[in-house]
Chains A and B, each alone.
Chain A
Amino acid sequence: MILTLAGLTKMFSSLRGDILAVDDVSLVIHDRELFVLLGPSGCGKSTILNLIAGLERPTTGEIRFDDVIVASGRRKVFLSPKERNVAMVFQSYALYPHLSVFENIAFPLRIGKQGATGVEETVGEVAAMLEISDLLRARPAELSGGQRQRVAIARAIVRHPKVFLLDEPLSNLDARLRLAMRGELKNLQRRLGITTVYVTHDQVEAMSLADRIAVVRQGRIEQVGTPDELYNKPANPFVATFIGSPAINLLETAFAEENGVFFVVVGDQKLRMPDEKSEELRRLSRNVCLLGIRPEHIHLDRLDRRLSGQRLKGRVRAVEPLGRETILHLEIDDSRLTAMTSGGELKQGDTIEVDLDLKRAHIFEVPAQGPRARQ
C-alpha cells in the first residue's frame, strides 16, 4: 500500500500558546517499504505517526492510503484507526495488564467482529511466527522486556493491517536484545510485506533498518533518502551532524579563490580544495562555509603514504580507545576535530601531522546567526 502525506500540519493549542508540532510535511511512502522517521525527541515524529494512525486529527493537509483519503483537514474527512486498519507498537508496549498473552493478541480480533471464528488458529499462527507459543497463558507482568515486545508485535500483526506503525519499539530493551530484535523486525517486515513506518531517535537503528529515512526536526522534514544518501550526501549541517557517530566535524572556515583554485583556511593554514568542489563553493553567498569532515576521513598516520601532501600540524588532546578503533580528539591551532583511526599508538599530547580528505568533505552554507537561526 502506498502511503501519502500531503502538506500535513498539526497545531496544538494550549493556554501557553500554539505549538506547531508538524509543519507542512509531505511524504510518499512506497508499497512494502520500511520507512523510518528519525529525529531528536520532541521533534514531532511521534505526532506524524499518530496522525497516520488516526489518533490525532490533522490541522491541515491530507493523508491517503493508496487512493483513499483517510484524513483531510480541508475536506473534513477523518477515519478512525479501526476504519483505517492500522496496527501500532508502542515504546511501552501498552499490553493490557489484566489479560493473558493469548487474550492480548486476540483482543483486536474479538473487538473487530463479535464472535469471530478461527481466533484460536490465527493467534496460534502469529504466536508461532514470533516464537511465543509457550507464553500464551502468561500475564504481561510475568514476561521479560523482549517477550513483551514480541507480544506487542504479535498483537499488531494479527489483524493483517494495511500499515504497520512502530513508535520507538526498541528503546526499552537492553543493548544486546535491541540488536537481535532489530534484525528480527526487519526480517518480519520483509516476510509480511506490510508498508511500515518506524519512529526512532537512534540513528544507528534507523540506518540499519530503513529502506528510506526522513530526518525530522522541529516538525519539519530536513531530508528524505536512503541511509546511504543521508550519510554521504547530507542536505544540511543538521542531517550531517545527526547521522554518523562520532559526529561529523563542522568547521566554519573562510575560503578564497585564486586563479580558479579554491583554498580554505583551517586553523592558521591554507589548504587547497580539490577542483570538483569548486562548483559548490562558487554557489555560496559569502566567503565563509561550513566544512563538514567525517572523523574517518581524517588521516593521521605519521608514515601514511596516502597522504596528499597538504599536512596540518596538530596535537592530540584526548584518546578514547574503543577496541577495534580509536577516537582521537585533536587540536589544530584553535580548531578542534574528532578523528577515527585504527592505530592505537598515539598518546595525549603527541604532536602529529593531519591530513584532511577534502574530496569527501561536505560544504554547507553558514546558517544566519541570531535567534531565528531556524524556526
Chain B
Amino acid sequence: MNEERMQRLLTLATSGFLIVFCLAPFVFMAVISLSGSPEFLSGQTAFNATFGHYRAIITTPSLHFIDYLRNSLAVSAVSAAVSTLIAALAAYSLTRLELPGRVLILFLILCVTMFPQISLIGFLFKLMTWLGWINTYGALIFPYVAWVLPLSVWILVSYFAQLPRELDKAALIDGCTRWQILRKVIAPVALPGILSTALLSFIFAFNEFMFALLFTTDHRARTVPVGIALFQGLHGEIPWGNIMAASIVSIVPLLILAVAFQRHIIQGLTRGAVKG
C-alpha cells in the first residue's frame, strides 16, 4: 500500500535524523578529545590520535579537573539523597494524611518550579556570604536540595497516590506508626519511584550551573559544569582537547545512569510533567 510505504520511509528518515541530531555533538566531542590537534577539520593539520588529553586532565593537579569531578559527584549525590528523603516524607503526608492545606502546598510547589533561578540568586549570595559558606559544599547543597525538591515531591506524590490505601490500613492494623508505614511498607513498595526520583535529582543537581558559578570561587567547591565552562589554557589559546576529554569523562557517569535506568528516568520525567 502506498500510504504504508510512505509512512515507513518517513519513519526511517526521522529515525536517521534523530540519531544524527542527538549523537553528532556528542560524537564530535569524543573525536576531538582523542585528537592531538583539534584544528584538523581545517585541513592544515592531521588528526593525530592520542589519549594525551585524558592523561593530562587526570594527572595534572593544576587543572583541578579531578577536584571538580569529586565536588560535583559529592554535592549531587548528597543533594539527591537529602531531597529524595525530604520529598518522600512530604509526599507521604500529602497523599495519605488529608491534612488541611495540602492542596495549597501542592500548588505552591508547582509555582516554585516556575521561578527563575535569577530571582533567588542575589539574596542567596548575600545569605551564603553572611553564613561564610561561599566556596563550600554547603553553599551548593542547601540551595540544590531546595531547587530539586518541587520536582521530587511532584514525582513521588504521583507514585504514592497510586499505591492502594488498604496497604496503609493493613499496616495501621498491624500496629505500625505513620513513620513505620512509610519506612517499612510505602518506601519499599514504591522503590522504583524513589529510585527514579533520586536519579533525576542527581542529574538535575549535576546539571546546575548558576548557583555553582556564583557561590564557588575555586577548586575546593567548584563543580564540573563551571570548571569546564571556565577552562582556560595557560597561554590564551583554548585547550580544546583537554576540554573535550574532561567533558567526556564527566558526562560518562551521567550517560551510564541515563541509559541503564532509561525506563525509570522517562517515567519520572513524564510523571513530573504530565501530571501537572
Residues of A near any B CB (own CB < 8 A): 50, 53-55, 80-82, 86-88, 90-92, 94-98, 107-108, 111-112, 155
A235 to B173, CA, bound (A): 35
Q: Which residues of B contact A97 (CB under 8 A)?
A: 189
Q: Quick check: is B237 within 8 A (CB to CB) of the other chain?
A: no
Q: Which residues of A contact B164 (CB under 8 A)?
A: 92, 94
In the bound complex, do residue B169 and residue A108 qualify as a contact, i.e. CB atoms below 8 Å apart? no
Q: Which of B167, B169, B176, B184 contacts A88 (CB 8 A)?
A: B169
Q: Which residues of B contact A54 (CB under 8 A)?
A: 172
In the bound complex, do residue B173 and residue A81 qualify as a contact, i.e. CB atoms below 8 Å apart? yes
Q: Quick check: is B132 within 8 A (CB to CB) of the other chain?
A: no
Q: Quick check: is B170 within 8 A (CB to CB) of the other chain?
A: yes
Q: Which residues of A contact B170 (CB under 8 A)?
A: 88, 90, 94-96, 155
Cβ contacts B152-164/A at 8 Å (1 or 0 each): 0000000000001
A112 to B173, CA, bound (A): 11
Q: Given the interface contacts A108-B174, A111-B180, does A94 sit within 8 Å of B188 by beta carbon? A: no
Q: Quick check: is B23 within 8 A (CB to CB) of the other chain?
A: no
- Using a Cβ cutoff of 8 Å, how many contacts connect chains A and B? 55
In the bound complex, do residue A55 and residue B175 qualify as a contact, i.e. CB atoms below 8 Å apart? no
Q: Which residues of A contact B175 (CB under 8 A)?
A: 81-82, 108, 111-112
A155 to B188, CA, bound (A): 19
Q: Which residues of B contact A155 (CB under 8 A)?
A: 170, 174
CB nearest neighbor in B for A99: B188
In the bound complex, do residue B185 and residue A96 qualify as a contact, i.e. CB atoms below 8 Å apart? yes
A55 to B166, CA, bound (A): 11
CB distance from B244 to the nearest CB of A (A): 44
For the complex of A and B, list the 8 residue pairs with the smallest distance between their C-beta atoms, beginning with the closest.
A82-B175, A94-B166, A94-B170, A108-B174, A98-B188, A111-B175, A90-B166, A81-B173
Cβ contacts B168-210/A at 8 Å (1 or 0 each): 0111111110001000110011010000000000000000000
Residues of B near any A CB (own CB < 8 A): 164, 166-167, 169-176, 180, 184-185, 188-189, 191
Q: Given the interface contacts A96-B167, A98-B189, A98-B191, does A111 sit within 8 Å of B174 by beta carbon? A: yes
CB distance from A139 to the nearest CB of B (A): 12
A98 to B164, CA, bound (A): 14
In the bound complex, do residue A55 and residue B185 qualify as a contact, i.e. CB atoms below 8 Å apart? no
Q: Which residues of A contact B176 (CB under 8 A)?
A: 82, 111
Q: Can you list 24 A-B pairs with a CB-CB distance of less than 8 A? A: A50-B169, A55-B169, A55-B172, A80-B172, A81-B173, A81-B175, A82-B174, A82-B176, A87-B173, A88-B170, A90-B169, A94-B169, A94-B170, A96-B167, A96-B185, A96-B188, A97-B189, A108-B173, A108-B174, A108-B175, A111-B174, A111-B180, A111-B184, A155-B170
Q: Which residues of A contact B167 (CB under 8 A)?
A: 94, 96
Q: Given the interface contacts A107-B174, A111-B175, does A92 sit within 8 Å of B189 by beta carbon? A: no
CB distance from B254 to the nearest CB of A (A): 29
A315 to B171, CA, bound (A): 58
A98 to B188, CA, bound (A): 7
A108 to B170, CA, bound (A): 10
Q: Which residues of A contact B191 (CB under 8 A)?
A: 98
CB distance from A350 to the nearest CB of B (A): 52
A273 to B6, CA, bound (A): 82
CB distance from A93 to the nearest CB of B (A): 8
CB nearest neighbor in B for A112: B175
A80 to B172, CA, bound (A): 8
A111 to B169, CA, bound (A): 14
CB distance from A108 to the nearest CB of B (A): 4
In the bound complex, do residue A92 and residue B185 qualify as a contact, i.e. CB atoms below 8 Å apart? no
Q: Which residues of A contact B180 (CB under 8 A)?
A: 111
Q: Which residues of B contact A111 (CB under 8 A)?
A: 174-176, 180, 184
Q: Which residues of A contact B172 (CB under 8 A)?
A: 54-55, 80-82
In the bound complex, do residue B189 and residue A53 qualify as a contact, i.e. CB atoms below 8 Å apart? no
Q: Which residues of B contact A87 (CB under 8 A)?
A: 173
CB distance from A82 to the nearest CB of B (A): 4
CB distance from B55 to the nearest CB of A (A): 46
Given A111-B175, A111-B176, 8 other A-B residues pairs in contact with their CB atoms under 8 A: A53-B173, A82-B172, A94-B166, A96-B167, A96-B188, A108-B173, A111-B184, A155-B174
A319 to B64, CA, bound (A): 90
CB distance from A124 to the nearest CB of B (A): 19
Q: Which residues of A contact B166 (CB under 8 A)?
A: 90-92, 94
A94 to B172, CA, bound (A): 12
A53 to B174, CA, bound (A): 11
A91 to B165, CA, bound (A): 12
Q: Which residues of B contact A95 (CB under 8 A)?
A: 170
A173 to B150, CA, bound (A): 42
A88 to B173, CA, bound (A): 7
Q: Which residues of A contact B184 (CB under 8 A)?
A: 111
A91 to B185, CA, bound (A): 18
CB nearest neighbor in B for A80: B172
CB distance from B173 to the nearest CB of A (A): 5
Q: Which residues of A contact B174 (CB under 8 A)?
A: 82, 107-108, 111, 155
Q: Which residues of B contact A81 (CB under 8 A)?
A: 172-173, 175
CB distance from A153 to the nearest CB of B (A): 12
Q: Which residues of A contact B189 (CB under 8 A)?
A: 96-98
Residue among A92, A94, A95 with the highest chain B CB neighbour number at 10 A: A94
Q: Which residues of A contact B171 (CB under 8 A)?
A: 96
